[in-house]
Every structure is written in structure tokens, then in C-alpha cells.
Amino acid sequence: MKLFLKQCPDIGETEVEIRYKERTEEIDNLIRAIDQSSDTIEGLKDNGDKEFIRIAGILYFEAVDRDVFAYKAKDVYRVRRTLYELEEDLRSRFFVRISKSTIVNIKAISLISPEDARRVKLKLINGELLIVSRSYVSDFKKAIGMKGGRS
């Protein structure tokens, strides 16, 4: 694959054109990555400030009590969405559910290792550890391409 970049100061909005002979999984992944790079979600800081955060920068979402939090490498935001809504909306954006209370960004995983009782341990790029619970291992493996590919 060749990559060409060209700065055009006179255009109003950034444009991306993808030329391909045949649409492959690699092309679809590229489209999703570009699409995801500009998507944002509203997050609330502890002090109540609202901030729009890039979804691509979120490592994982976690439900705690009745709140859902978005975790970035160094920041945590409360989001006003349910985990079910996020799971549905982010399914095609490299996010997968790994437990009843957690959805992880596949691109944020730096290490995957087996854990006891058929669970899987994930180390994220910021060093945090998450566990894929037994009932979600199969879906996780499909999402990372270990069992039949991403659906």
C-alpha cells in the first residue's frame, strides 16, 4: 500500500480519498480507523466541565454503580450513555465487550495472556490490567481475529 499526503491550505475541510483495486479487510479497517479518528463523545470531568473526547483515545469504558466512565491513558470522564448503547454504537470501531461492566478498545491492548478458569488477562498501553470474563472470551477472540474473524 502506498500513502500520499498533500497539504492544501486553501481547502475548507480535510478530505481523504482511498483508491483500491479490490475492497479487502485491510481497506475496511483503514476506513474504520479514519472514521473513528474524528468521532467524539461528550465526557464530564470531576469538576463538572464538559469536554468532547476522541473515541480513538479511549482505552475502555466501565460501568460502576449507575454511572459509565470513559478511561483515557491519564484521564477519566463520566459519560451519559449506557454500556449497552456504547457497545452497539462502537461495535464496528474496534471496541468489544469483555465483561458485564467493561468494553475495551482493541487498539489499546499491548499484551494478551491466559488467566485461570478460562479467562484472559489484557495489559493496556498505559499499563492497566483488565480481565476478559469467561462468558465473553469467545466474543473477544472473534473480535481480535482468533476465531472466525470480526463479525
Q: Which three cell numbers stand for residue 97?
A: 465487550
Taking each continuous run of H as one helix and of E as one strand, the counts in the chain are: 3, 10
Task: Supply the pTM of this predicted model.
Answer: 0.75
Please report how many Cα atoms fall inside a 13 Å half-sphere around the Cα of residue 27, on the Cβ side: 9
Q: Give the Cα separation of 6 and 123 in Å (integer).
A: 37
The domains found in the chain, sorted by start residue, are 25-143 (2.40.50.1020)
Report residue 106's pLDDT band, with 50, 70 and 90 as the boundaries: very high
E strand segments, 4-146: 40-44, 50-54, 60-64, 67-71, 76-79, 95-99, 102-105, 109-114, 120-124, 129-132
Average pLDDT of 6-29? 89
